[in-house]
Chains A and B, each alone.
Chain A
């Protein structure tokens, strides 16, 4: 499996092919379709991310020691961005995700073009995803002791 660093570099390479903004969005919209959807029963205020103009829900489970994220949004661009984040962070052990340095969003030029609402939302999304990793990591340490 590729490292978090490598997979981010892959995404940057893929998007950098597009000069035109609409091609970038098409890519994001296509990626959005690959998003592992959150179970409808988790679409509650408890799983919603603050700071987004659109609604975003994220959940994570630990399966065979690996973090598996699911999510959804009522806006397609947000959905695409989460799908990218999940591509980078899902299927890894919590300790790897918790310390991950995420740089691809800035590099693909999305961050500077994100409206402040969504930029705040992005920070919250990443924070929530890492919180899941921290929580599962702590739980792991407790059970191994």
Chain B
């Protein structure tokens, strides 16, 4: 028996993603909006079809065959996720609808249990609104305060300020692993080490990291790690909250409903153990099962290989974009995921995005739900090209050539 050589076959990978063949105007889609959502490999699409066509039945409690199949598949994805992010226990993996819900869960449950009047939550300036607003809502309820942790001109967090921002009132530090708007990879391991010296837990928004970097929550020593299924080639509407047992055990339930209880009476209700305590109502089990397939698919290719190929794409894209006079790149850290955020002279990003669309190029324009970050740079928004391992240098060449045409029209 021979072992299959482990190569990064871009043609094979592209063939796995049917949407990359679609043509709206003239040529197959050039999809550079992976920061917003990623495309789905055939195996994920097939899994959804297979389960809805032949296996669908609500999980847990039922004794009949199909329900047991779905329950088993759903619970085995918990194991897949546990291994994928190297969590210590399966019960530390809570399924949610996505990163936003994961963060809201912590803001509500951790907030009501551990945050009191006058306390502080440290939130980085690089955050997506979904890692700002839940903390503001919680701070309002608990009479606490959200404190901003500033960044520098390169779009990197000011590590020199961190120690001074952490005090006895700080109850939690919240930051993303990778910035959605700029692509900066934050030194979360170091941040967590510093925060832990003062016994302050850390929540990491991994929405933009999980598909690009190998994440090991134990090595990071993260207290909470949140991510979305649809950003790692899985379906929308499913996500994960990883939380250390000691926190999840101590936190009250976030939502009430079926599946999250042990015993219900009008006098006293007791709650289920982890992780079901946080999974009220019918779980999004079929999307979870398809997410499991997405993770298996990524695991087979290997995140190290993916990261190294995407890094090549990043360097190439930045180099090519810099050949256009008037392009200004925002986010110039040496540590970046394959995302390039830029403006062209003083043209509006939406003009560039709309015209690039007619070249079959999908990019995102605007503030990328990170208005405080845009305010720092004194701009309303950027054009963001966010790449994935199914993108190619040829696509970057085509993108840059098209962008040049568009720019010349807007000059």
Chain A residues near B (Cβ < 8 Å): 21-22, 25-26, 29, 53-55, 74-78, 113-115, 117-118
Asked if B42 CB lies within 8 Å of chain A CBs, one says no
A74/B348 contact (C-beta < 8 A), A53-B365, A53-B366 known: yes
Contacts of B358 in A (CB 8 A): 21-22, 25, 113
Contacts of B351 in A (CB 8 A): 54, 75-77
Count A/B pairs, Cβ under 8 Å.
48
Q: Count chain B residues whose beta carbon lies closer than 8 angstroms to a beta carbon of A.
A: 17
Contacts of A55 in B (CB 8 A): 380
Are A115 and B409 within 8 A (Cβ)? no
C-alpha spacing A76/B353, complex, angstroms: 12
Closest Cβ neighbor of A73 among chain B residues: B348
Could you name 16 residue pairs across A and B whose Cβ atoms are closer than 8 Å?
Answer: A21-B25, A22-B358, A22-B405, A29-B410, A53-B350, A53-B365, A54-B351, A74-B380, A75-B350, A76-B351, A78-B350, A113-B357, A114-B354, A115-B357, A117-B350, A118-B354
Asked if B347 CB lies within 8 Å of chain A CBs, one says yes
Contacts of B357 in A (CB 8 A): 113, 115
Question: What is the CB-to-nearest-CB distance from B130 to chain A, in angstroms, rounded to a whole number?
Answer: 19
Query: Out of B25, B366, B409, which one reaches A25, CB within 8 Å?
Result: B409
Digitize B380-409: 1 where CB-to-A-CB distance is under 8 Å, 0 elsewhere.
Answer: 110000000000000000000000010001
Are B409 and A22 within 8 A (Cβ)? yes
Asked if B355 CB lies within 8 Å of chain A CBs, one says yes
Question: What is the CB-to-nearest-CB distance from A116 to chain B, in angstroms, rounded to a whole number?
Answer: 11
Chain B residues near A (Cβ < 8 Å): 25, 347-348, 350-351, 353-355, 357-358, 365-366, 380-381, 405, 409-410
Are B350 and A115 within 8 A (Cβ)? yes
Ranked 10 nearest A-B pairs via Cβ: A75-B348, A21-B358, A53-B350, A75-B351, A54-B348, A77-B351, A76-B351, A75-B350, A74-B348, A54-B350
Contacts of A75 in B (CB 8 A): 348, 350-351
A118/B350 contact (C-beta < 8 A), A21-B358, A53-B366 known: yes
With a 10 A CB-CB cut-off, give which of A22, A26, A78, A118 has the most chain B CB atoms.
A22
Are A29 and B409 within 8 A (Cβ)? yes
C-alpha spacing A29/B40, complex, angstroms: 37
Beyond the given pairs A29-B410, A117-B366, 19 more chain A to chain B contacts, judged by CB atoms under 8 angstroms and listed by A's residue number, are: A21-B358, A22-B405, A25-B358, A53-B381, A54-B348, A54-B351, A74-B380, A75-B348, A76-B347, A77-B351, A77-B355, A78-B350, A113-B354, A113-B357, A114-B354, A115-B350, A115-B353, A117-B350, A118-B350
Question: What is the CB-to-nearest-CB distance from B347 to chain A, in angstroms, rounded to a whole number?
Answer: 7
Question: What is the CB-to-nearest-CB distance from A35 to chain B, in angstroms, rounded to a whole number?
Answer: 15
Are B409 and A26 within 8 A (Cβ)? yes
Contacts of A29 in B (CB 8 A): 409-410
Contacts of A78 in B (CB 8 A): 348, 350
Closest Cβ neighbor of B410 among chain A residues: A76
Question: What is the CB-to-nearest-CB distance from B365 to chain A, in angstroms, rounded to a whole number?
Answer: 7
Are B348 and A76 within 8 A (Cβ)? yes
